[in-house]
Structure 1
Amino acid sequence: MKQQSTERRLFQYAFMFKKSVAIGLICLIVAVGLELTGPFIAKHLIEEHIVGIETQWHEVTKEDRWTVSYDHKQYKRDDRLSSAEESRGVATILQVGRQYYFVDEEVPMTGSRSFANGQLQVEQSDQSIRVDANQLSLSELYSFFKPEQPSIYWLLALYVVLLLVAACFQFIHTFVLQKASNRIIRKMRDDLFSHVQRLPISYFVNQPAGKIVARITNDTEAIRELYVKVLATFVTSVFYMTGIYVALFLLDVKLALLCLVVVPIIFIWMKVYKYYGGKYNTVVRSTVSDMNGNINEAIQGMSIIQAFRQEKQTSQDFEKLNDKHFFYSRKLVKLSALTSFNLVNVIRNIAFVGLIWYFGSGSLGAEGIVTVGVLYAFVDYLNRLFQPVTDLVNQLPQLEQARVAAGRVFELMNEEGEKVSETPMKRYKGHIEFNDVSFAYNDKDYVLNHISFEVKPGETAAFVGHTGSGKSSIMNVLFRFYDHQKGTVKVDQQSINEWSRQQIRSHMGIVLQDPFIFSGTILSNVTMNDKSISREMAIQSLKAVGADRFIEKLPQQYDTPVRENGDSMSMGERQLISFARALAFDPAILILDEATANIDTETEQLIQKALDVLKQGRTTLVIAHRLSTIKQADQIFVLDRGTIIERGKHEALIKKGGKYHHMYKMQQGALKEPAV
């Protein structure tokens, strides 16, 4: 089945929270739209109410809010004169340099202007006009602006209100999108961790724990940054740039087309950065995983490292990974240095050079290419355009880092997991049959060869043999940590392959040679937070195996906190807790994997009593290291190189004088040399 692309799967996770994302994007569009009205308001304010007085003025008789008193006469702007009003004469106000002049007649608004000796001259291509003109004083000029003041104040107030409303929508957009982003990552982490628990045991054998931890924590955190910052920035920038280009085209099509050159430059650079940044980030993320694995291994084995004085070698191994990480991180820094500041500045300068070239000389003014208001709005929008461009380019490193991290997360999710079936199953009796079973971990080198045996309900069967003889492999097959390649394994006359792994394990318990204790309390390690096991049941299990002897001496007794792996307890104490855990779950089949191998003789007697309690009423399979502990077993199977070479009870095997007899005598100290 073809795997979906990383980008598509990231989108699918975002789509799970489409309502929140949609609300955030709608608020973003509204905020961008409101912000981009500013230059249009400024353009209108400049053209209509500031430079708008430079036009023809009509002498009128009736006074209203738009009339201006000058030289004992009333004047009204040409665009303020209604069709019903009668004009008694036309005057003109023109600007030359920084001064305004009043001409008591109609004068063309186009052409170059100059003022000298009380006369204003207008030069056009086909004629030259010279008229008498009066320079307006500051107070006189102010009177011509006075009718426009209410509109100016209203537009400024409108602009401020729009900015405040836009800020509110921007806040809602940011809050909603960040909330949605955190929910997306929470969902992704839950899915990833749940998937990890469905992976077969073989995956964890081949993968260092630190690498898996890095993907669940570091890589998902990088993806969180993608949703929280990168995508929000990209979406904001794209909407903002789109709005700006729409506004530019509304102002002037030719100028807007000139500015479109920015888009292909950004697109090309993003492609280049994706290629090189992707390669470098892949190495960086992989190296971070290796470093986590190295650190985890070093911490777990610190006592060995210090005991054998390997601190220097361990540091050198870590330094190699650290140097590799530094080398490729530096490459990323160099790549990013070409963007953020330099690239955007170059594009900005090119855009303004194009703007200057477009206008050329003498193109501004009433007869020029654009008006002053359009030019102001255009320059404002052009400046605004480069803020989202800068944001886009600055987020490229985070984008590639998150994309690579997402690829690593989805790669883990693509690992084929085991099907989970939580359908309850009636407790089976524990009748175990292996019929001609062969098994290999790599489908080639068989570690079990034609194994056949039967263990009836309630019996205790022991498996002995040298290291690598296949004892633990039998338990792995029965527990379905691995599936056998040949033969059949049955429980109560039914093949275990017909049940799900969860069902077959639901009535099995296991006690390992080195029991694992989780962070929490003594009680939580017995119940495993299973609601079906009450506090009373857990305490009763602990008492049944004799663990109450040391627990009740503790200050908090059964609620005593324990650290990871129970480092504050002895091996025997940890083993008793693991026995109580198995007893509390009341399995039909109990597997003891060399449960007494690391126990001292005194503690062994206590554990043997616990074992007697534990075995009652259930089928027990024992991987034995100390043969003295399995004398009472109903059956003993002696394995050698994946095959059963002897079987029977303790006394019968001793009388037989074979492999078992030899192993037993060696442990009793009767033999000095091992058998050939």
Structure 2
Amino acid sequence: MKQTGKRLFQYAALFKKPLLIALIFLSVAVATELAGPFIARQMIDTHILGIEKPWYETTSATQTKKAVPYEGTFYKRIDNFAEGEPKGKEVRILQVGSQFLWVDQQIAFDGVRNLADDGKLTITQGTEKAEYAVKKLSIQELYTFYKPEFNSLMKLAGFYLLLIIIGAGFTYGQKYLLQSAANRIIQRMRSDVFAQIQRLPINYFDNQPAGKIVSRITNDTESVRDLYVQVLANFFTGTIYIVGIIAALFVLDYRLALFTLPVIPLLYVWIIVYRKYASFYNHEIRERIGSINGMINEAIQGMTIIQAFRRQKETIQEFEQLNDEYTKYQNKLLSLNSLTSHNLMNVVRNLFFFGLIWYVGGSSINTLITVGVLYAFVDYLNRMFHPMVGIVNQLPNLERALVSADRVFELLDEQGVDVATEKADRYLGNVKFEHVRFAYKEGEDVLKDISFEAKQGQTVALVGHTGSGKSSILNLLFRFYDVNEGRITVDGRDVREMPKQQLRQHMGIVLQDPFLFTGTIASNVSLDDPSITRERVEAALREVGADEMFKSLPHGIDEPVIEKGSTLSAGQRQLISFARALAFDPAILILDEATASIDTETEAIIQAALEVLSKGRTTFIIAHRLSTIKSADQILVLDHGEIVERGNHEELMGLLGRYYQMYQLQQGHPETASAAESEVRSVL
């Protein structure tokens, strides 16, 4: 997991500039927001509760500067006197309940206040008691004493409003920068994953359902995006908030700040315990999502077979099983999240408040804390738990993102081959297999000591029963796989010494079931290669005899092709695939049962084109219809991975062996084939 975090940081480092700016903006936004309780403390302690500070009579010369008239005399609060300014008699204004009282003298000490029915104020502190004659202030009189503070209060309120606006601007900036950077990070990651897919060998896709691979490119990268947009934003914000709040608490009162410090290790332990259990559940959930996507993809691809063989019920049951397993782990994670969610954090917060009341109320510290400090402290404590709740609530997203990142990096770490961009000179096409052995699984050879040579311009046909090794030979030639023993050369050079892309640059292939991409007929021929001109596309279609067929379509060769070319006939798809191979002018042309799925008329068109197009080009043909390979220069008959017969059509027919038997069966002469088989067995 540490390695995953390191690699996620490396991706983030690619866009460090906007992320750093976002972090600075976030710090400014937090600072402006945390200034609020300090301003509130100043308003409460200085300008609201400050009315209880000592007041002094003042001379008429200073009446214009925060002097308050009362019963013919002007008074100023102690903190409004200039340095060296003379003071007269001291008086006090004290609050008891909702009433404000005028005390026309200095008080000896402050403590518990009690107003008797006879208008006497009693102040008690421990065993000491003092009694004062007081006068109740009317609302208008009280307003007069507060009036000098209104200007300062409005300035502080205006300053706070300005901070709110500045904070909102910086918050918008940091969110925009953070999310745009996250989008660019995921864009880069998806590009890397898709590029990695192009580098992976064919056997990787043999062992991985397409839906699971798609899930890693889409679902998993989107979960990683949540890490950068939501999780990191909350963690960054929360961390800066918590650090800033703790610093502010120490400024307010270090004793109260020390009281809150245990919440930090508590949060750390909380995260560790949660991740221990959530990691397993998230791994299982992501695996089930991949399996569900794989099955859905397979079901859609094979819907014709499912419905034709009435397998809908069994398919639904299989899906329900995967869906039930996914739901089971989701519910387990939900239980964990409910147990450790913000509700539990609120309980912890209330316990801290209870502890604070007990601590302040049961100790001498309560006499040293002003109302404004206590208000600011409670406000900060509330603010500190808010980002902590945000962090706790993001823990499920964090685990989901880390698990998804693991799956993405697992794909990126698969051994692949870098795509070579260099252009290679067109080779002649002399192909030679020398004692080649190959197995898809260790100990199960599908090719055994295969040796043959195909010279430039020759046509080599491979025939044999299913599983005899015909397609494996061409897979090795294309380097979809590499040989276990022996070697394959092209123009005398071992294919393993050639970059795969350069080797395939001058090869063309036509499969039995051609794959067409969404686009047009023309784009499927050229594959949007800028070197394949429009004229070349038209020439390729003309040479395979398909130009007239596609001219009848509404848009000609610009006719739209949807996924897999499902609106075209099998013959039309095959002709497009054939024209695609020819448009790239390959030195080696491979036809893997290219005529097996088309009608006789289309086969005749392709056969006629082959006679011209195979000249000067080495052609390999895998064919079940032996009538299509009668003109091949060399025919190799394979059986269980071995070449049992070789020669041209006439030579093999003269052997009266396996090829002769296969040919007679296809021509409708089973009795001749049976006689030939008996003769072969007697010889053996």
- Report the TM-score range of the alignment, normalised by the length of the smaller protein: over 0.9
Aligned residue in 2 for 1:79: 79
Counterpart of 1:37?
Answer: 35
Please give the alpha-carbon distance, in whole angstroms, between the structure 2 residues aligned to 1:563 and 1:211.
Answer: 23
Q: Which residue of 1 aligns with 2:164?
A: 163
What amino acid maps onto 1:310 in structure 2? R
Q: What per-residue deviation string (whole Å, max 9, x for no partner) do you get for residues 473-506 of structure 1?
A: 1111110000102112111111111111111011
1:172 is matched with which residue? 173
What does residue 10 of structure 1 align with? 8
Asked if 1:147 corresponds to 2:145, the answer is no
Question: Are residues 1:600 and 2:599 paired?
Answer: yes
Give the AA of the match of 1:41. Answer: I
Shift of residue 522, structure 1, vs aligned partner: 0.3
Please give the per-residue CA displacement for 1:332-373, whole angstroms capped at 9, x wherever unaligned: 1111111324212211111111111111269687xx131100
Partner in structure 2 of residue 197 of structure 1: 198
- State the Cα distance separating 1:256 from its structure 2 match: 1.8
The Cα offsets for residues 602-650 of structure 1, whole Å up to 9 and x where unpaired, read as: 2211121232343232111111211111111111111122121221111
CA distance in 2, matches of 1:440, 1:53: 94
Letter of the 2:282 partner, please give it.
N
Give the CA deviation at 1:164.
0.9
SS for the counterpart of 1:5 is helix
TM-superposition CA deviations, 1:271-296 (whole Å, max 9, x none): 22212111111111111111111111
Gaps of 5+ in 1: none
Distance across 1 between alignment mates of 2:151 and 2:478 = 86
Tell me how far 1:86 sits from its aligned partner. 1.2
Residues in 2 aligned to 1:311 and 1:570: alpha-carbon distance in whole angstroms:
27
Report what 1:25 is aligned to.
23
- 1:658 to 2:670 alignment: no
Q: Are residues 260 and 613 of structure 1, via their aligned partners in 2, closer, same or farther at CA, if it must alter by over 3 Å?
A: farther
Once residues 87 and 298 of structure 1 are traced to their aligned partners in structure 2, the CA distance between those partners, rounded to angstroms, is 94
| Letter of the structure 2 residue corresponding to residue 58 of structure 1 | Y
AA of the residue aligned to 1:40: F
Q: Which residue of structure 2 lines up, in the alignment, with residue 489 of structure 1?
A: 488
Deviates more, 1:161-170 or 1:225-234: 225-234
Are 1:440 and 1:448, in contact at CA under 8 Å, matched by a contact in 2?
yes
The aligned runs of 1:356-395 (5 Å cut-off) are 356-360=357-361, 368-395=367-394
* Counterpart in the other structure of 2:572: 573
Instruction: Render the CA deviation track for 1:206-249: whole Å, top value 9, x for unaligned.
Output: 11111111111111111112222122122111111221111112
Aligned counterpart, 1:211: 212
3-state SS of paired residue (2:64): coil
Is the CA contact (8 Å cut-off) linking 1:364 and 1:372 kept in structure 2? Answer: no
Matches of 2:363 and 2:650, distance apart in 1:
116
What TM-score does the superposition give when structure 2 sets the normalisation length?
0.96
Residue in 2 that maps onto 1:552: 551
Give distance in 1, aligned partners of 2:326 and 2:611: 55
- Where does residue 409 of structure 1 map in the other structure? 408
Post-superposition offset of 1:468:
1.3
Alpha-carbon contact 1:576-1:610 (below 8 Å) kept: no
Shift of the 664–4 alpha-carbon distance from structure 1 to 2, 3 Å rule, reads: farther
Task: Return the alpha-carbon distance in structure 2 between the equivalents of residues 585 and 298 of structure 1.
Answer: 35
Contact residue 274 and residue 340 of structure 2 kept, 8 A? no
State the identity as a percent: 54
The one-character-per-residue Cα deviations of 1:569-607 (angstroms, maximum 9, x if unpaired) are 111111100111011101111111111112222221112
Amino acid at match of 2:136: Q
1:312 match: 313
Q: CA deviation at 1:419?
A: 2.8
Matches within 5 A, 1:245-394: 245-360=246-361, 368-394=367-393
CA contact (8 A) 1:429 1:492 kept: yes
1:161-200 per-residue CA deviation (whole Å, 9 max, x = no partner) reads 1001101110111111111111111111110011011111
Query: What SS is found at the alignment partner of 1:441?
Result: strand
Alignment of 1:462-473 (within 5 A): 462-473=461-472
Q: Is the 8 A contact 1:359 1:369 kept in 2?
A: no
- TM-score using structure 1 length: 0.97
Residues 530-574 of structure 1: per-residue CA shift (max 9 Å, x gap) = 111111211111111111122100001111011111111111111
Distance 2:663 2:315 in 1: 42
CA distance in 2, matches of 1:562, 1:152: 72
Equivalent residues of 1:579, 1:610 under 8 A apart: no
Matching residue of 1:422: 421
Q: Which residue of 1 aligns with 2:54?
A: 56
1-structure distance, mates of 2:649, 2:235: 74
Q: Mapping of 1:476-515 within 5 angstroms?
A: 476-515=475-514
Q: Does 1:101 align with 2:86?
A: no
Contact kept in structure 2, 1:440 and 1:485, CA below 8 Å: yes
Separation in structure 2 between the aligned mates of residue 344 and residue 33 of structure 1, nearest angstrom: 24
CA drift at 1:109: 4.7
Looking at structure 2, the residues matched to 268 and 194 of structure 1 have their Cα atoms a distance apart, in angstroms, of 40
Q: Does the aligned pair in 1 maintain the 2:519–2:560 contact within 8 Å?
A: yes
Instruction: Return 5+ residue gaps in structure 2 as ranges.
Output: none
Closer/same/farther in 2, CA of residues 372 and 642 from structure 1, 3 Å limit:
same
- CA spacing shift, 1:362–1:591, aligned 2, 3 Å: closer
Indicate yes or no: 2:215 matched with 1:222: no
Whole-angstrom distance in 1 between the partners of 2:625 and 2:265:
75
Is contact 2:53–2:77 with CA below 8 Å preserved after alignment? yes
Q: Secondary structure at the match of 2:441?
A: coil
Contact in 2 for aligned 1:241/1:385 (Cα 8 Å): yes
> Which segment drifts farther, 199-208 or 243-252?
243-252
Provide the residue aligned with 1:114 in structure 2: 114
What is the distance in 2 between the residues matched to 1:319 and 1:195? 33
> Between Structure 1 and Structure 2, how many residues are aligned?
672
DSSP-derived class of the 1:11 partner: helix
Give the distance between the partners of 1:660 and 1:185, measured in 2 at CA: 57
Distance 2:104 2:659 in 1: 129
Amino acid at match of 1:647: R
